Amino acid sequence: MLKNVRYAKCVKCGKEYEATPNTTTCECGGILDIVYNYDYIKSTFNKGVLSLNREQSMWRYRPLLPVEPDSAPTPLRVGWSPLYKADNLAKALGLKTLYVKDDGQNPTASLKDRASAMAVVKAREAGATTIACSSTGNAASSLAGNAAAAGIPTYIFVPSRAPKGKVAQLRIFGATVISVDGSYEDTFELSKAAIEKWGWYNRNAAINPYLSEGKKTVTLEIMEQLGWQVPDYIALSVGDGCTIAGAWKGLKDLYNIGFIDKLPRLISVQAEGCCPLNRAIMTDTPWQPMEENTLADSIAVGVPRNADKALMAIRESNGLVINVSDDEILAAMRLLGRTQGVFGEPAGVTGTAGVKKALELGLLDPDSTVVSVVTGNGLKDVANGIRAAGEPMLVKPDMDALLSAFKANGINP
């Protein structure tokens, strides 16, 4: 029994379930949210206790996480990624204060490691011997890596469009990889059928209520790294919606235990070619499926699996919703790289592209303090890196050739 957790509650119908390691979705089809016993947490946990904790990973927040006290943490170091004060980028954008949280520095190079590490712990608690998931790429590679380190085999379903870097990770981590010739939606449905057939532990974010609890550690960290000074906005790219829902959950947890005294507003950023959640907010209508028409593969999610939680998070935070074009995403890749030395994959920089656009549209006060989360590393998808920044000049190995190449490219050393 988890002392810090009361139960899992359906976000649709409100039905309560005991929070067991195998808890999935409500009988009504709704997704579950883990509800904590904040009085118990407050009785054992405070800022002083936290500051004495030398653990530098997401597991430093165990009192706020739904894991058994005697569950071993996962072997890879997940979380405690750097929060940079991004003055160069802030200046380029005309924004007073900007921080960049580089979650591409996780062990498998994306924020998804936070959810996958949680999945591995819960799978062990459930006594599972095999874990499976479907993913646009990063959930897969992070599960494969974190499970490999824990000695648990994985079955991974990815759409065939997944970038090579991510597929290479899966193969290297020894997963059984099923590359599905279809959309993410098709991939998800096939994984669901296979999981039902073979009874594997399910790491699909829509079905497993613990994953957003892992992801929430990103905002727990941001707030601790900021010395509990609450920013005005936190910007995130959104696909299934599990990340933004988790980010909001972390903030509310901190508010409920008195670590912070107000809540920031979320900025939900999606690609113009695939923005079902932002469109639902903008038009104030229920979300509708959309085409998956963007180069930002990690957020090319036409049927978002955590729609209810994500929409609730955006609305509760009085959030902004911003859609950006693929060109704006590529421009943000260059800008982050050139001003801050941070290389994000397309979906990784989409939040930053949204901050830029919100400023241009006058939706964001330039005097604000903003945290932009970079959710995945650019080395996962070098093709789009080159697409964003171009090929280098090619020269023969002599000085004359170098001089004429410099001239042709307008370079004056």
Ligand X SMILES: *Cc1c(COP(=O)(O)O)cnc(C)c1O
Alpha-carbon distances of 112 from 9, 263, 401, rounded to whole Å: 23, 24, 46
Q: Which is nearer to ligand X, 2 or 266 (CB)?
A: 266
**Residues that bind ligand X in the complex, under the rule CB under 6 A:** 110, 112, 138, 205, 237-244, 298-299, 301, 345, 347-348, 375-376
Distance CA 43, CA 242 (A): 29
CA 66-68-70 angle, to 5 degrees, is 145
28 touches, from ligand X, Zn ion, none (C-beta below 5 to 8 Å by class): Zn ion
- Could you give phi then psi for residue 230, rounded to 5 degrees? -80, 125
Alpha-carbon distances of 268 from 237, 322, 352, rounded to whole Å: 6, 6, 11
CB of 321 to ligand X, least distance (A): 13
299 touches, from Zn ion, ligand X, none (C-beta below 5 to 8 Å by class): ligand X
H helix or E strand, kind and range, residue 180: strand 176-180
138 touches, from ligand X, Zn ion, none (C-beta below 5 to 8 Å by class): ligand X
Alpha-carbon distances of 154 from 114, 139, 144, 163, 197, rounded to whole Å: 17, 12, 6, 19, 15
CB of 132 to Zn ion, least distance (A): 24
CB neighbours (10 Å) of residue 407? Answer: 10
H helix or E strand, kind and range, residue 172: helix 164-172
Q: Which residue is nearest to ligand X (CB)?
A: 376
28 binds Zn ion per the rule CB under 5 A: yes
Alpha-carbon distances of 174 from 65, 187, 189, rounded to whole Å: 28, 20, 23
13 binds Zn ion per the rule CB under 5 A: yes
Q: Which is nearer to ligand X, 352 or 368 (CB)?
A: 352
Q: Which is nearer to ligand X, 204 or 339 (CB)?
A: 204
32 binds Zn ion per the rule CB under 5 A: no
Q: Which is nearer to Zn ion, 12 or 192 (CB)?
A: 12
Q: Which is nearer to ligand X, 124 or 215 (CB)?
A: 215
15 binds Zn ion per the rule CB under 5 A: yes
Interface with Zn ion (CB under 5 A): 10, 12-13, 15, 26, 28, 30
